[in-house]
Amino acid sequence: MTAEPSYVDAILAHAAAAPGAPALVTPEGVLTYGELGLRIEASARRLAACGVGPERVCAVALERGPQAVVAMAAVSLAGGAFLTLDVDAPPPRLQAMADSARAGALLTTAALADKLRLAVPGPTVPIDVESGAVPDGGPETDACTALPRILESSLAYVSHTSGSTGTPNAVLIEHRGLTRYLRFVAADYELGPHTTALQLAPLGYDASVRDTFAPLVAGARLVLADRSVLLRAEGFAETVRRFGVDTVLSATPSLLTFLTRHESIAAELRGLRLTVSSGESLRPFLASGAHRALGGGLVNQYGPTECTMTSTRLHLPERPETAADLIGTPIDGVAVRLLDDGGEPVADGGIGEIHIAGTGVARGYLGRAALTAERFLPDPAGPPGARMYRTGDLARRRLDGTLEYLGRRDRQIKIRGYRVDPAEIEGELLGHPAVTGAVVTAETDGQGRTYLVAHVSGSLEQVTDAALRAHLARTLPFHLMPRRFARIDRVPTTSTGKADRRALSDPPLDPAP
């Protein structure tokens, strides 16, 4: 079986070619590619001596920083698959993830091991906080010991479906999808040694894999900073300014809306060469006009965890279309099929469910054979044995090949027979000068009638509901008018930075018509 050089091989190649080039930049200092490569290789050999190898899942429970980067890459180089955990999440949640992923080893620090008390059936391997490497003192290792070849078909990492409840579903991603995706990002977004990228997504979510390794595959500088700092407008701006950040690869529209409302950081936002958005509909952000505060290019990404992070992307023009939610065209190695309820392709312009095929499709859900069979279907248009992932999302394909996203099959909002797109209303609300955040949800009253609630934040003390309705009425038909406006201090977000719609859900009410 052929072995395409893995993403780790690309990093080690940069370490050999330009050992003095900066790789990881933190407020505490700089780690060069040469130093990074040595730490990855040394840690990989010690992990291999501890039993980490092909198809072995190693949970990585570490704070954001160089040690987490070294750990993930070292697990891959040892032949294993990493499962990153967000150490700020509740320990029972982390234990459920480790269990569902069948983690056979744990890579952490002594302090976090004592705090989290995660139980895995294999060894707990300590990480040295100062160096970010696995320290000496474990099983005997030989610096010349050969590490296993990383095959395309071997397991690369385990992620979990976002928003899962109860026991999370573990998604199995192979190296063929991961490496080709990271190389695509580096090429398509023109990353290279000239790039300084900001690691923004939280560990424990697949977006952090892109955030971390796409820049390193390209030989770029990766800036690592405390996420609590980055989620404050001034902290974000200071980090961009101090380290010369020009690229952000994982920003949610909710975060972009928050940042662009702060005029004090306008210079830093204009200085960005590239901003990549994912995780939510970008349409409200575009409709509000806030994108004009960003400098450089803006890319909209779409893709589920089950298909290696991203399946389509759209490089937005200077004057983007705001009347539709456009997600672009498939990335290299990916095919998007729009199928009707009978599994037949729909004509261009027709509405169909998105089915994703190609190199990025996961193996399936670990230990969930029935669910895997339901979601991962044979791909009749692909080679023998190929599969496609049924997303549950609806879209239409325009004549130029661009995909227009139309929402979830299971979250369609119907108001008096009309199909309602909350993003359209949210975009118009954000166009009001006093509104800084907007989320529209559907609720049901005591008579079983569905109605819309607009949750808005901003300086709204002097803005009445009637004024907000009048603002919307300039462009929206009556069936898109919220029945109620709920004032909130700030739009709540999940740990990934997406708007937390569940937190805004109302109990049944029967408001006056």
Is 151 within the bounds of a domain?
Answer: yes
- Give strand ranges (E) for 349-400: 351-358, 364-365, 376-378, 387-397
- Structural domain span for residue 369: 325-409
19: phi then psi, degrees, rounded to nearest 5: -60, -25
CA distances from 159 to 40, 68, 229 (A): 22, 16, 25
Q: Rounded CA gap, 420 and 428, in Å? A: 14
Is 261 within the bounds of a domain?
Answer: no
Domain CATH for 353: 2.30.38.10
Is 315 within the bounds of a domain?
Answer: no
Which among 201, 230, 251 is the end of a domain?
251
Residues, the chain: 513
- Which amino acid belongs to residue 470? A
Q: What is the pTM of this model?
A: 0.84
Q: State the residue for tokens 């294993």.
A: 80
Where is 494: in which H helix or E strand? none
Q: Structural domain tally of the chain?
A: 3
Q: Residue 310 class from Cβ within 10 Å (0-12 exposed, 13-18 middle, 19+ buried)?
A: buried
Is 87 within the bounds of a domain?
Answer: yes
DSSP assignment string, 51-80 = T--TT-EEEEE--SSHHHHHHHHHHHHTT-
The answer to whether residues 199 and 333 belong to one domain is no
Is 272 within the bounds of a domain?
Answer: no
The answer to whether residues 17 and 101 belong to one domain is yes
The answer to whether residues 351 and 491 belong to one domain is no
The answer to whether residues 371 and 451 belong to one domain is no
The answer to whether residues 222 and 334 belong to one domain is no
Which among 409, 436, 466 is the end of a domain?
409
Residue 364 makes CB contacts below 8 A (sequence gap 6+) with 171, 172, 372, 375, 376
The answer to whether residues 422 and 398 belong to one domain is no
Which among 409, 429, 449 is the end of a domain?
409
C-beta of residue 354 within 8 angstroms of C-beta of residue 336: yes
Task: Note down pLDDT in tens along the chain; length 513 residues.
Answer: 456 789 999 999 999 999 999 999 999 999 999 999 999 999 999 999 999 999 999 999 999 999 999 999 999 999 999 999 999 888 988 998 999 999 999 999 999 999 999 999 999 998 875 566 676 554 455 555 578 889 999 999 999 985 434 467 999 999 999 999 999 999 999 999 999 999 999 998 899 999 999 999 999 999 999 999 999 999 999 999 999 999 999 998 889 999 998 999 999 999 999 999 998 889 889 988 999 999 899 999 999 999 999 999 999 999 999 888 999 999 999 999 999 999 999 998 999 999 999 999 999 999 999 999 999 999 998 889 899 999 999 999 999 999 999 887 766 676 765 667 788 899 889 989 999 999 998 888 776 678 899 999 999 999 999 999 999 998 887 878 999 999 999 998 887 778 888 888 644 443 333
Q: Rounded CA gap, 224 and 232, in Å? A: 15
CA distances from 423 to 85, 167, 287, 430, 455 (A): 31, 30, 9, 10, 13
Q: At what angle do helices 422-430 and 465-473 cross, to 10 degrees?
A: 110
Is 334 within the bounds of a domain?
Answer: yes
The answer to whether residues 233 and 370 belong to one domain is no
Is 83 within the bounds of a domain?
Answer: yes
The answer to whether residues 135 and 177 belong to one domain is yes
Residue 351 makes CB contacts below 8 A (sequence gap 6+) with 338, 394, 395, 396, 406
The answer to whether residues 65 and 34 belong to one domain is yes
What does R_g of the chain's alpha carbons equal in angstroms? Answer: 23
Domain CATH for 481: 3.30.300.30
Q: Map residue 153 onto helix, strand or coil.
A: coil
The answer for 436, left when phi > 0, alpha when psi is -120 to 50, beta otherwise, is alpha
Is 38 within the bounds of a domain?
Answer: yes
Q: Which residues pair with 174 in a beta bridge?
A: 155
